[in-house]
Structure 1
Amino acid sequence: MQFVLETVLDYLNARHYNDPIPNELNDVFDKTEYQKSQSYKKTTYRFGLITSTFSLLLTLIFLFFGGFEWIDGIARSITHSPILIALVFFGIIMIGNDLITMPFSYYSTFVIEEKFGFNKTTKKIFLLDKLKGWLMMVVVGGAILALIIWFFEWAGSNFWIYAWALVALFTIFMNLFYSKLIVPLFNKQTPLELGSLKTKIENFAQQVGFELQNIFVIDGSKRSTKANAYFSGFGKEKRVTLYDTLINDLDEEEIVAVLAHEVGHYKKNHIVFNLIASLILTGITLFILSLFVNNPEVSYAIGVSTPSFHAALIGFGILYSPISEITGLAMNHLSRKFEYQADDYAKDNYAALPLISSLKKLSKNSLSNLTPHPAYVFMHYSHPPLSKRIANLRK
């Protein structure tokens, strides 16, 4: 059902690719650039349809032909420890799935993104990213999963309370130190050099009473030409990270306007709200899991003959996906609302015009969809469409 819904939404969205550009966005693309944008969207739409269909077929094959039972048997032949069985089980599934789908990822990066001028990733970086990702999954993900299963064996159905506390501590820790500990594994970060841009940023921060000592530039251009900026951490650990592509694509006034938008998220407490909301949703999910995890039927539902925590977790994940879609809708709605509020903050405390021009440039350089279907926006967009953001900024 979820696959059908997503396919219909993608189809509705694709039918809008040839719509005329809204009048207020006429200066984003010229005719040639708009044709390139349309071609990019159509290519990614067709490719997305292929990958989603493949993923569905792969899941159905596993369900109907005993794939999960086969992997469970392999794990049980290696060890008798419930924790180690679960680690082997999930390790085979996750790394195996990544290996099976790697050709799609490779094609997306080195064919589609390359064709449209976005890709800067080398094959070496692509492979190293995969290996580092697997290592992090094994070390960090494996440790968390092992502790959760240990809680289950120790506390029974009340395990969710301790698991929630563990996930909450980990989430807060990562919010504080992700940029210091994880990002350097994949990218180089350097402090923003002294100069007029740093002076303008510091002057703005001082003007709005925002203590900012950590401004970093990340080498995003080693992978893609697409630009970005983000805010991370809070308290003394807060920092702003600018992609080098953003600095290359925008002028200084536009960069400060983008930064003002990010500061708006902080000033409006969006970061803290999102963190709390994420923790509450995690707690609710774990509580619901505790109601199902001891039911053997959940393990049987995915074809595993020996009920276990790890098999029930897979079954629960499949059953819970409709609920996660609903919570995702709510979070996307709030996220779009927060984006308007952050835009308003930048408009009121800095200026609207440089933010408008920066949004147009970023949309142009990433070949964004300027005419998305409203239903697709409602279901998937965490940011309002460009035309609506500009209309709000011009109020």
Structure 2
Amino acid sequence: MAQILFFLIIIFVIADFALEQTLSILNRKMLSPIIPEKLKGIYEEEKYAKQQNYTLTNSRFSDYTRLFTLAIELAMLLLGGFAWVDEWVRSFPQNEIVVSLSFFAVLYIGNEILTLPFAIYNTFWIEEKFGFNKTTPKTFVLDLIKSLVLSVVLMGGVLWLVLWLYQKLGDSFWLATWGALSLFSLVMLLFYSEWIVPLFNKQKPLEEGELRTAIESFCGKAGFSLKNIFVIDGSKRSTKANAYFTGFGKKKRVVLFDTLIEQLNTEEVVAVLAHEVGHYKRKHVVSSLIISFVQSFVLLYLLSIFLKYPVSAEILGVAQPSFHIGVVVFGLLYQPVSTVLGLVMNLFSRRNEYQADAFAGNYGLGDALVSGLKKISVHALSNLNPHPAYVFVHYSHPTLLQRMEKIRDLTPALPKGKGDEMLILSK
């Protein structure tokens, strides 16, 4: 049985690589030096050529990154890397909780070290070359240090709690763990923008003026109480624009990147915000949270069943069964299921995006929303013509061409010009 499961894991790892590589090749085949008819009027010829080069550069970079990741994963599996790490952390006198924490810490730090050159190249070569990067070496290093400390404090703390519950409750640990993780997710949703974001960025309330007045006017029409409107210094790291909505109840907060305000006019910013309000009004925030709770409930239950069997240690050639080895093997075997669930969640997310767009359109902001997304897309050199298969697998948002068609159904007067790939607005 162990040998069969080991070969299944190898097949899953290679199949995932093959799928991603195929999608990448299909997406590159859509690139062309000639502007497609449906995209004319959005990009100027010189800008479009730059966008095609940017997409191609990122695609090839992803190929190299993916190949490197595959090589590391296969090396860890075929050369006994996981067994070596397990043996090494057990060479120090410590209890089982510390052993598992040390095991995961070694994997995390090792991954950070191995992928660091790729992060540096992406930030200071690719993004710099195409005029997006504003991150200084100092900011880059500080971000790394802060992220490491946060991971140790937050994720290390959560992992310690899970291990402690497993040690105390045995097979029934999963239910208590689910409750703890659900509470943690809820707290992060409510307080992430207040507690975590300030460690990396400065946020300040949107000043009184034309934009705030327009936003408050819209919120009044929409029956949406919103006091927390913040501007974040996104330009500290990149020229790309974004916005996000977080929390619920009195903790509702909209955060606008300063780059978004710079690139769009007042009506377009309001339209983007209206889209975010639409997510809240249509209960997308709550429904997404509930779905994540259900998924983690099922996932932890399946994990608890899997951990009952000591086959994990034999699969990876480890001397003795343990919680951390069981989690690693379960994660590898669960990968195909995770891929399928990702497809389903993307379908769900794209439906939500259409509904949020419709909400903005119903308040007469469809035209402004399309106009704003076009501007952001051109500035960000977004891929306006991705392969449908790539969209189906990877996009949590519809392409802007698809979104424009839906908005046009609500607002027939919209111009017939076409638009961009998408704007990812975190929720």
Choose which of 170, 177, 202 in structure 2 pairs with 1:163.
Answer: 177
Moved more, 145-154 or 213-222: 145-154
Cα pair 2:35 2:45 within 8 Å, conserved:
no
Gaps of 5+ in 2: 1-14, 410-427
State how many pairs are aligned: 395
Gaps of 5+ in 1: none
Cα pair 1:86 1:310 within 8 Å, conserved:
yes
Distance 1:381 1:19 in 2: 24
In structure 2, the CA distance between the partners of 1:280 and 1:24, relative to structure 1 (3 Å rule), is same
Choose which of 144, 148, 153 in structure 2 pairs with 1:134.
Answer: 148
Determine the structure 2 residue equivalent to 1:324: 338
User: Which residue identity is paired with 1:66?
Assistant: G
- In the TM superposition, 1:359-378 aligns within 5 A as 359-378=373-392
User: Which residue identity is paired with 1:101?
Assistant: T
Distance 1:302 1:108 in 2: 33
Choose which of 110, 114, 124 in structure 2 pairs with 1:100.
Answer: 114
Choose which of 243, 262, 270 in structure 2 pairs with 1:248.
Answer: 262
Determine the structure 2 residue equivalent to 1:44: 58
Cα pair 1:79 1:85 within 8 Å, conserved:
no
Residue 28 of structure 2 corresponds to residue 14 of structure 1: yes
Q: TM-score with structure 1 length normalisation?
A: 0.98
Choose which of 393, 401, 405 in structure 2 pairs with 1:379.
Answer: 393
- In the TM superposition, 1:1-395 aligns within 5 A as 1-18=15-32, 21=35, 23-395=37-409
Distance 1:235 1:147 in 2: 29
Distance 1:390 1:334 in 2: 19
What is the CA-CA distance between 1:301 and the residue it aligns to? Answer: 1.8
Distance 2:36 2:123 in 1: 30
What is the CA-CA distance between 1:303 and the residue it aligns to? Answer: 2.9
In structure 2, the CA distance between the partners of 1:197 and 1:125, relative to structure 1 (3 Å rule), is same
Moved more, 222-231 or 295-304: 295-304
Q: TM-score with structure 2 length normalisation?
A: 0.91
- SS of residue paired to 1:78: coil
Distance 1:266 1:303 in 2: 49
What is the CA-CA distance between 1:156 and the residue it aligns to? Answer: 1.4
When the two chains are superposed, the root-mean-square deviation of aligned CA atoms in Å is 1.1
Distance 1:324 1:299 in 2: 22
User: Which residue identity is paired with 2:136?
Assistant: T
What is the CA-CA distance between 1:306 and the residue it aligns to? Answer: 1.6
What is the CA-CA distance between 1:213 and the residue it aligns to? Answer: 0.3
Determine the structure 1 residue equivalent to 2:11: none
Distance 2:288 2:404 in 1: 24
What is the CA-CA distance between 1:20 and the residue it aligns to? Answer: 5.3
Cα pair 2:272 2:372 within 8 Å, conserved:
yes
- SS of residue paired to 2:94: coil
Cα pair 1:63 1:303 within 8 Å, conserved:
no
Cα pair 1:87 1:142 within 8 Å, conserved:
yes
User: Which residue identity is paired with 1:210?
Assistant: F
Determine the structure 1 residue equivalent to 2:412: none
User: Which residue identity is paired with 1:275?
Assistant: L
- SS of residue paired to 2:244: strand
Partner deviation per Cα, 1:243-265 (whole Å, 9 max, x = no partner): 00000000001000000000000
What is the CA-CA distance between 1:297 and the residue it aligns to? Answer: 1.3
Distance 2:343 2:397 in 1: 12
What is the CA-CA distance between 1:69 and the residue it aligns to? Answer: 1.4
In structure 2, the CA distance between the partners of 1:29 and 1:43, relative to structure 1 (3 Å rule), is same
- SS of residue paired to 1:241: strand
Cα pair 1:71 1:89 within 8 Å, conserved:
yes
Distance 1:328 1:335 in 2: 10
Cα pair 1:28 1:363 within 8 Å, conserved:
no
